[in-house]
């Protein structure tokens, strides 16, 4: 998008350059160089599952498979109902064997 240097009007782009639609001023343009950008080669990315590293292991029996070890996390739920602020904590367990999750 260009504007004419003489009358400051919008110039249309043509094959020969830019032409002012008001006064007919022609601004010739040349292609200086074309650079081809090649994409990077695909490289593999290793993903390490660190989601369970923040949890503690505790002795808790899984209700699904009977495994005696589970990950433990403690969450806090904040809310407000009828103008009264409410807070409660939730203990969440996830079985280390089958991945079943339950609250206690």
- Structure confidence at residue 36 (pLDDT): 84
Give the range among 10-14, 44-48, 74-78 with minimum mean pLDDT.
44-48
Residues 6+ apart with CB under 8 A from 65: 95, 97, 98, 100
- Structure confidence at residue 14 (pLDDT): 83
Helical (H) or strand (E) element with 21: none
User: What CATH number labels 56-103?
Assistant: 2.20.25
Top mean-pLDDT range of 30-34, 37-41, 53-57, 63-67? 63-67
Phi, psi of 71 (to 5 degrees): -85, 145
- Structure confidence at residue 69 (pLDDT): 93
Phi, psi of 13 (to 5 degrees): -90, 130
HSE-CB at 6 with a 13 A cutoff on CA atoms is: 10
Q: Is the CB of residue 4 less than 8 Å from the CB of residue 12? A: no
pTM (2 decimals)?
Answer: 0.44
């Amino acid at each position: 998008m260009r504007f004419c240097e003489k009358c400051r009007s919008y110039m249309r782009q043509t094959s020969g350059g830019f032409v002012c639609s008001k006064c007919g001023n022609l601004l010739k343009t040349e292609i200086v160089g074309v650079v081809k950008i090649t994409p990077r080669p695909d490289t593999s990315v290793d993903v390490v599952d660190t989601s369970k590293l923040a949890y503690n292991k505790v002795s808790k029996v899984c209700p699904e498979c009977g495994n005696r070890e589970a990950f433990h996390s403690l969450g806090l739920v904040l809310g407000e109902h009828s103008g009264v602020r409410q807070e409660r904590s939730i203990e969440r367990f996830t079985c280390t064997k089958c991945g079943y999750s339950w609250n206690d």
